[in-house]
Chains A and B, each alone.
Chain A
Amino acid sequence: MKTLKNSRRYTTEDLDERERELLRLEERRAELESEAFEELCGTVAAAAEVLQDAGRALARIDVAGALAVHAVRQDWTRPAFGEGGIDIEAGRHPVVEGTTEFVPNDTRLFEERSLLLVTGPNMSGKSTYMRQTALIVLLAQIGSFVPARAADIEPVDGIFTRVGALDELAQGRSTFMVEMSELSNILHSATEDSLVVLDEVGRGTATYDGISIAWAATEYLHNRIKARTLFATHYHELTELVDRLGRAANVHIAAEERDGEVTFLHAIQEGAADRSYGVHVAELAGVPDPVVSRSNDVLSNLREEKAIEARGGEPDGSGSESGSQQVVFDLGTGGFERGEPAGGGSGDGVGERAGEKSTEAATEPTAEGIDPTERAVLEELRDADLEGTAPIDLLGEIRSWKERLEES
């Protein structure tokens, strides 16, 4: 008999025995259950490989289904895998097409047309166009449909890009150094079968350095590597270089001009832009009228006296340096030099350092007296053997020129 606070519990021998029996059975039951569970766990663990395969199969069907859903929703198309380079008809940017009304564009890159120079000011959509091409090729090469009306893609062995890098800036690394080491990697790694996308190479430094590097890189990609290349630049001078390269073509973002008003149509057209509209962008951005109109004057003056030599018109030709050469960018205009902050490291990494902008200083031409260091550097630049020098060495030379110019 047990006595609790306000009750008494009576029990008998027999009842006690029953209770013990029940507890024993309960314990036994738990033991058996636990054993059975253990065994079951063991069975499942032993089948881990089967489970992995099963999970993988579900994942594959899931991915195919997901890609199908997106293809149907966005009207994507199944690309063919031909052997004639990249031929995209009415391609769109897979991410941007969902957020804004999008103007589709063609991309055609093949052996006889392996390099496209894309011109037009930044806000006109050059970057989007180039990324869209890279993304369409990538999507094709994961087995997905692609955002285009039609696409025929010869698989590439690599996709290499060099575009503006905000994250690098945030880390306080010199943009120009980063830009150049990325360019260097590309020039070393890309092959004939690669897709190379370069956006504004050379903008991280002073105009002359920038244009020289862009120029040399274009030649190297075209003549040596022969990679399928999209090269966007605001250096209009390069469009004339491209005219002289055998397998390169100019394309530009179409603009419509009516009564002095310019609208960018975001549509890619063959040929070089007849002008860069950089001044127009300045106007859009609210730069005061007198500056805009003076910029236009300066621009037209400059257009008439251009000079740099183009090489490699005959990629594997005689190597004769006398053919098809023309001076485009007159480096002798010393006023230029002084107007432009000589050091690329002036921290002015914002926006495009468009030639047009930098020319305001040219309003006071000071063509007399070129300092001897500059003259020496210019001579070395003229004599530089772009074809026969590795890009990295060229970089080194350019760097040393730059240093000497800064010191002078």
Chain B
Amino acid sequence: MAAAGSDDGIVSQFLALKRETDADVLAMQCGDFYEFFGDDAELVEEELDLTVSQKSAGDRSYPMAGVPLADLTPYLTALVERGYRVAVADQRETDGGFRREISRVATPGTLLETTDADAQYLAAIVRDGSGESEYDRTRNRERGHTSGESGNDEGNGTADEEGTYGLAFADVTTGRFHATTVEGGAAARTELHRFSPAEILGGPNASESLLEDAASRIETTLTDYEPEAFAPGRARHRLAEQFGERAGASAGLEDAARRAAGAILAYVEDTGAGVLASMTRLGAYEEDVSLDATTQRNLELAETMQGGREGSLLGTIDHTRTSGGGRLLRERLTRPLRDVDELETRQESVAALCEAALAREELREILGEAYDLERLASRSVSGTVGPRDLLRVRETLALFPALDAAAIDSQLAASPVAAVLDEPDRAAIADLEGELDAALAADPPRVARGVRKSREAPPRYHPPPGRSEQNGRLLHPGRQLRDRKDP
């Protein structure tokens, strides 16, 4: 619901937009600034040290704080990293005026402007609730309490965590998307620990104790999301829309996994991150080698028991030169394989690179020039790239011929390293690079002039389907636990 644009109603516009969203904070564009009013201004004053002034509207005066348009990102990131969900309302020119509307809600799991090179997963979890009523749940919980002392038959956590769980994980910054189905709470915990999501959408029947336990072990924000988004029919429809009619089935996804995957897609669209299109492939996966949450911690794979990266296995062996490489190494460490063919191919690459010291150093030097293509891809889809980002894409794509040269003129020619370079669509890469090269100046401005915020189809805020006026909230109020520093 866009408020009509005249200058004097700014505060009332702000308040109207604030009512429209369930986000914790609203940043509204006013000309060259994003402004916060009222309680929100006081909140950002406290959290971000912004200076607050007074703005009078009607017969009263409101606290007001603002940041320049181009500087929103660091403030937004800081707020979201502290666990706040921040709505951003942009100003768009219309015939003879302005409209302001919420274009997106930045949440810990959908933040595009992350400063962290690590993967940033958004998780959804649902438990198959066929036939299980609220009554059963309560009963199970009671049984869990009374029999907890004498153990239970499953041994997979407490009794109220039994059942089939559907889990989906999406990294909006890179477009990675995985879904799976597991049995029992312990297995669900293991997956949550493996992906360490920044935000978890709890669906119907997802055990509360399980979510809270997960939140106490990983830095995450729990969000209660509307149960309808997890409904099997709707979720299937969403999956088909995103990945094609047969995607769910051909990826071998079971129902529970589809429900979780569908809910993630809905949430990403609701929050208006605009990156749906970057999720091009649905990765169904099954755990090949089990590595439970306890073991991941005990072996100090990605962090030590004390929580630091230094002294962990990853911290010791990670000599990668790119963010994508660092993410991949972590992913591999937490997801070992039994497939000997694949393992031997990987070993071949390592062996060849061990032998060819010169080529190795050359390759690594070239990789040091690369930008994060996976992230740039997501941002280009979301419409948040600037000219310099396009330049980075071009520069990185231009590295391929150099990598080829380093790989082919050496002992690496016959190794899988050379094959890996040939796997992406090289013709498309060359075309894109050529096109960018022809179009871009060597030193383009940071922000394209006259482009910002005036495009016809920016990422839009979609109100969730079927919500009523009285109950018009994007996210369900209430439970949202933060395992972060208290604000």
Contact = CB atoms under 8 A, between A and B. Distances in A.
A203 to B, nearest CB: 15
A62 interface: yes
Interface in A56-95: 56-72, 78-79, 81, 94-95
Interface string A104-143: 0000000000000000000000000001001100111111
Contacts of B82: none
Given A161-B294, A185-B186, A61 B403 contact: yes
B277 A45 contact: yes
A55 B151 contact: no
B40 interface: no
B328 A62 contact: yes
A37 B373 contact: no
Interface string B364-405: 100100101111111011010101001001001101100100
Interface string A22-53: 00000000110110111011011101111111
Contacts of B154: 188
A61 B340 contact: no
A185 B305 CA distance: 20
A142 B347 contact: no
Contacts of A156: 289, 338
Nearest to A164: B298
B149 A399 contact: yes
B298 A95 contact: no
B322 interface: yes
B325 interface: yes
Interface residues of A, number: 82
A78 B175 contact: no
Interface residues of B, number: 105
Contacts of B295: 134, 159-161
A346 B451 CA distance: 69
Contacts of B440: 40
B325 A72 contact: no
A52 B175 contact: yes
Contacts of A44: 380, 385, 390, 393, 432, 436
Contact of A63 (B152, B325, B378, B435): B325
B68 interface: no
A156 B295 CA distance: 14
Contacts of B337: 141-143, 155
B240 interface: no
Interface string A149-180: 00000011111111101110001000000000
Contacts of B432: 43-44, 47, 50
Interface in B140-177: 149-157, 174-175
A95 B300 contact: yes
B350 A159 contact: no
A108 to B, nearest CB: 21
A189 interface: yes
B150 A399 contact: yes
B448 A33 contact: yes
B279 to A, nearest CB: 9
Contacts of B215: none
A284 interface: no
B381 A56 contact: no
Nearest to B278: A48
B354 interface: yes
Given A159-B291, A395-B151, A58 B338 contact: no
A139 B277 CA distance: 35
Contacts of A72: 354, 357
Contacts of A185: 155-156, 186, 292, 294
A53 B154 CA distance: 42
A17 interface: no
A78 B448 contact: no
B312 to A, nearest CB: 7
B294 A162 contact: yes
Given A60-B328, A392-B153, A143 B347 contact: yes
B424 A54 contact: yes
Given A44-B393, A70-B317, A51 B373 contact: yes
Nearest to A400: B150
Contacts of A187: 155
B219 to A, nearest CB: 14
A392 B424 CA distance: 51
Given A48-B175, A395-B151, A141 B343 contact: yes
B353 interface: yes
Contacts of B442: none
A155 B344 CA distance: 12
A43 B435 contact: yes
Contacts of B345: 143
A217 to B, nearest CB: 13
A98 B455 CA distance: 55
Interface string B427-448: 0110010011001100000001
A164 to B, nearest CB: 9
A63 B329 contact: yes
Contacts of B174: 52, 55
Nearest to A183: B155
Contacts of B376: 51, 55
Nearest to B448: A37
Nearest to B287: A158
Nearest to A51: B377
A37 B391 CA distance: 12
Contacts of A81: 340, 343-344
A359 interface: no
A144 interface: yes
A184 interface: yes
Contact of B313 (A135, A163, A171, A188): A135
B364 A155 contact: no
B420 interface: yes
A34 B450 contact: yes
A95 B332 contact: no
Contact of B332 (A30, A94, A143, A167): A143
B71 interface: no
B346 A142 contact: yes
Given A58-B367, A158-B290, A142 B385 contact: no
A145 interface: yes
B246 interface: no
A98 B310 CA distance: 12
B421 A61 contact: yes
A94 B301 CA distance: 11
B328 A63 contact: yes
Contact of A58 (B322, B354, B448): B322
B385 A41 contact: yes
B350 A145 contact: yes
Interface of B: 149-157, 174-175, 186, 216, 277-278, 280-281, 288-292, 294-295, 297-301, 305, 311-313, 316-322, 324-325, 327-329, 332-333, 336-338, 340, 342-347, 349-351, 353-354, 357, 360, 363-364, 367, 370, 372-378, 380-381, 383, 385, 387, 390, 393, 396-397, 399-400, 403, 417, 420-421, 423-425, 428-429, 432, 435-436, 439-440, 448-451, 455
Given A44-B385, A58-B403, A68-B360, 8 more contacts: A40-B436, A48-B377, A52-B377, A65-B364, A159-B289, A167-B305, A184-B151, A399-B149
18 contacts: A37-B387, A37-B448, A47-B377, A54-B429, A55-B174, A58-B367, A68-B360, A70-B317, A81-B340, A95-B316, A138-B301, A141-B336, A156-B289, A156-B338, A157-B289, A184-B155, A189-B292, A392-B153
